[in-house]
Structure 1
Amino acid sequence: MTGTSRQGGVRTIFNVTSGNFLEMYDFMVFGYYATAIAKTFFPGDDPFASLMLTLMTFGAGFLMRPLGAIILGSYIDRHGRRKGLLLTLGLMAIGTLTIAVVPGYATLGMAASVLILLGRLLQGFSAGVELGGVSVYLSEIAPKGKKGFYVSWQSGSQQIAVIFAALLGLLLNHLLSKEAVTHWGWRIPFVIGCLIVPFLFWIRRMLEETEAFSQRKHHPSMGQIIRSVGRNWALVLASMLMVVTTTVMFYMITAFTPTFGKTVLMMSDKESFFVTLCIGISNLFWLPVMGSLSDRYGRRPLLLISTILMIITAWPVLYWLVGSPNFAHLLEADLWLSFLYGSYNGSMVVYLAEVMPAEVRATGFSLAYSLATALFGGFTPAVCSYLIHVTGDKAMPGVWLTFAAVCGLIGTLIIKRLK
């Protein structure tokens, strides 16, 4: 027997989200060790310029996401969810290995910087459809009335990656000196990511194709998929606006927190990593809770309430934090933002999976997500660092969050008219 009855269990959720874990783990590790990577591959006399080059390299990976969404998303919509998820995992693994083993600038010169950039671009290309492929798979296997809960575990797996990466960061900072972490210790998390890959391949190979895809008699070609996405351009753009909110907030409270804590608030590495660990745990709690609430009360009420709360509170919370910067205040501020993120994302991801036409569901979803991440979310650490640098105002990340929340509110209001 195949179909939802056999697929829709804890084991299947674990199997399908496993690769999503690797994607987010790699992205988080790169963000956590941005200062060390800057010294290894982008050395210079100006620490700010070196850090910005690294953060821009972090963001560059997101520029490949729209291309990956179109090419790999079309592959998934034509050849199946299972085959596509195996392909994206393989590409992600190659990118991770590149970052783990490439010698530094002192050995290879500019070639080292270029190779790291290529590794990030390959990761971004594969990640362009990983999230969409996982979300679509979960939405198609979910029992009736539980789609929000099921799809929330796509983002939930990302939080497990945040928690794991933060724990590893705390362990490394406990076992190694700061100099050792900067010189070579930062590579250890990437090596561990490479070692996890064979296990992830093994469990993903056990996935079945979804019943919804198998029962479709016609699987469109790439050309047909692209034309269909073109016909639904307004829906994709409205969805992109909604994704801006979640992707900016996520990278703000996870990838940027260690850099913000260390370089702006002058906290220790251990304090910054511990806050990030707590945020991952908080996100992991709120996402399935809010996904379930969206199943019961509807997606739009949660989307509207959470975006309005973000608009009202994002800048005041950051202003309060930088006015009295300490560990407790950073934790409290990020926990509030984590609640808002979980409330919004828990209903937003499944909402987009539902509004996309079935024949281009993976492509349309992934393209909307990738455009938002490429243009806004992925560059959040770089944008926030730049805004602080040029204005001298440490609370400027709150302005960036407010802008993102406005985008989400507009997208939520527009998309209802397009359905």
Structure 2
Amino acid sequence: MPSATPSSLFRAKAKVILQVTSGNFLEQFDFFLFGFYATYIAHTFFPAKNEFISLMMTFGVFGAGFLMRPLGAVVLGAWIDKVGRRKGLIGTLSLMAAGTFLIVLVPGYETIGIWAPLLVLSGRLLQGFSAGAELGGVSVYLAEMATPNRRGFYTSWQSGSQQVSIMAAAALGYMLNMTLSEPVLHDWGWRIPFAIGCLIVPFIFFLRKNLNETVEYAQRQSHPTLKQSISILLANWNVVIAGMFMVAMTTTAFYLITVYAPTFGRKVLHLSASDSLLVTLLVAISNFIWLPIGGMISDRIGRKSVLLAMTALAIVTTWPALRMLTHAPDFSMMLGVLLWLSFIYGMYNGAMVAALTEIMPEEVRVAGFSLAYSLATAIFGGFTPAISTALIQYTGDKAAPGYWMSFAAACALFATLYLYRRVSQHHFGTDKSFG
């Protein structure tokens, strides 16, 4: 039997990456749409006399979905650690699809009253519960199938798939803004992208159905029960909490430069919806480029150097960059500032995902990763649009979101220093690039 050629191995790996990351695409596609169409969703489901209150209620529901992530991380993450990566990823996709269908089909407040916001909230909670383990399941799968010493590169495609979804959502939104009138978009046109997200669900199910189990998981002799998983997580609580703070930088930066950026461009900078969408599309392309580069560099020089360098840059430059933007709010300046933040985010996250898979105990790798990531998303990233809106409202500083991202970066910096000190003492991690 002839040996596999490098090109055939590459195609096989690329096929697996597509299969496993397809659910990530759907998750971020819907999350981005919720953020971009927040003003329309606010009008449809959360009408109020004060536009600020209406928008805050919408972002509150958006953030509420993230509060379900830690629960999903523990319950679904432990389930994936027990039943396998393939079966678990099909399960999380099923729950995600159900939440998406619910949001698309719910009539507005004027039609069914209080049931409208309650059903939308239910859809978001269901999405959040499934997403709690989705990222962890995907990241761990990629880490376990990765070529030796290339874990950073392979795991970077977890986030890379999210950028493709942002590109697709932004491009679709841009086309709708060019073809539909504002009243049509306001009334029902905003639902079209969500409906398209529902239509691609069967294709994603087909991809994941043909996914193989990872060799590393299949060779494991025993798998913990939910009770055992919780015990292991509690015994390693300091690793999970430090991991949460390490993720804080990633999740805050991502939701700031993608989900919140279109609303920031329209409501704060008073740019057109089309310009805001175009900037977001270009930022997603930039993210897509920097993520694998960050992963590859961390494979060569170690995760720690990349993580520390990027958190330091975020602390020092985020607020000044946003301050420059708010003083000269045009398309070119918004693009330049967000591309700079995209570089910081992409390089950091390219190294961080691999590092997080490496510090978690092997028996609860999915549950541990998912819990750390979900806690960070619930506390930091998911409420970034709401916190940014509130900071601007109450400080009068349009660049105030920079304070929030700098704070998250500082948390990540100290968490990284703590974890690597712990690694050197306990010899955690199996990949030499971790240090």
Q: TM class by shorter-chain length?
A: over 0.9
In the alignment, which of 307, 311, 316 is matched to residue 311 of structure 2? 307
Aligned length: 416
The residue that corresponds to 1:97 in the other structure is 101
For 1:359-378, what aligned pairs fall within 5 Å after superposition? Answer: 359-378=363-382
The residue that corresponds to 1:297 in the other structure is 301
1:15 aligns with 2:6: no
Q: Normalized against structure 2, the TM-score is what?
A: 0.94
Q: What RMSD, in angstroms, separates the aligned Cα atoms of the two structures?
A: 1.1
8 Å CA contact retained: 2:304, 2:420: no
The residue that corresponds to 2:121 in the other structure is 117
Kindly state the Cα deviation for residue 275 of structure 1 after the two structures are TM-superposed.
Answer: 0.4
1:80 aligns with 2:84: yes
1:320 aligns with 2:324: yes
In the alignment, which of 165, 174, 178 is matched to residue 178 of structure 2? 174
CA distance in 1, matches of 2:193, 2:259: 15
CA distance in 1, matches of 2:173, 2:160: 20
Kindly state the Cα deviation for residue 306 of structure 1 after the two structures are TM-superposed.
Answer: 0.4
1:106 aligns with 2:110: yes
Identical amino acids, percent of aligned pairs = 57
Counterpart of 2:184, as a letter, is A
CA distance in 2, matches of 1:29, 1:217: 42
The residue that corresponds to 2:39 in the other structure is 35
CA distance in 2, matches of 1:91, 1:118: 12
Kindly state the Cα deviation for residue 28 of structure 1 after the two structures are TM-superposed.
Answer: 0.5
Kindly state the Cα deviation for residue 418 of structure 1 after the two structures are TM-superposed.
Answer: 2.5
For 1:1-400, what aligned pairs fall within 5 Å after superposition? Answer: 9-400=13-404
Counterpart of 2:129, as a letter, is F
Counterpart of 1:160, as a letter, is V
Counterpart of 1:179, as a letter, is P
Kindly state the Cα deviation for residue 258 of structure 1 after the two structures are TM-superposed.
Answer: 0.6
For the residue of structure 1 that corresponds to 2:383, the secondary structure is helix
Kindly state the Cα deviation for residue 7 of structure 1 after the two structures are TM-superposed.
Answer: 9.9
CA distance in 1, matches of 2:310, 2:103: 37
1:231-262 Cα offsets, whole Å, 9 max, x none, are 00000000000000000000000000010000
Counterpart of 2:219, as a letter, is Q
8 Å CA contact retained: 1:235, 1:418: no
Counterpart of 2:118, as a letter, is V
For the residue of structure 2 that corresponds to 1:248, the secondary structure is helix
CA distance in 1, matches of 2:19, 2:238: 33
8 Å CA contact retained: 1:8, 1:141: no
User: Could you list the runs of 4 or more consecutive aligned residues of structure 1 that deviate by over 2 angstroms after TM superposition?
Assistant: 5-8
CA distance in 2, matches of 1:238, 1:74: 20
8 Å CA contact retained: 1:258, 1:273: yes
Counterpart of 1:71, as a letter, is V
Kindly state the Cα deviation for residue 146 of structure 1 after the two structures are TM-superposed.
Answer: 1.1
1:131-161 Cα offsets, whole Å, 9 max, x none, are 0000000000001121111000000000000
1:194-249 Cα offsets, whole Å, 9 max, x none, are 10000000010010111111100011111001000000000000000000000000
8 Å CA contact retained: 1:7, 1:141: no
For the residue of structure 2 that corresponds to 1:254, the secondary structure is helix
CA distance in 1, matches of 2:57, 2:10: 48
CA distance in 2, matches of 1:224, 1:163: 41
Kindly state the Cα deviation for residue 417 of structure 1 after the two structures are TM-superposed.
Answer: 2.5
8 Å CA contact retained: 1:8, 1:142: no
Counterpart of 1:384, as a letter, is S
8 Å CA contact retained: 1:102, 1:112: yes
CA distance in 2, matches of 1:381, 1:179: 25
Kindly state the Cα deviation for residue 44 of structure 1 after the two structures are TM-superposed.
Answer: 1.3
1:275-310 Cα offsets, whole Å, 9 max, x none, are 000000000000011111111111110001000011
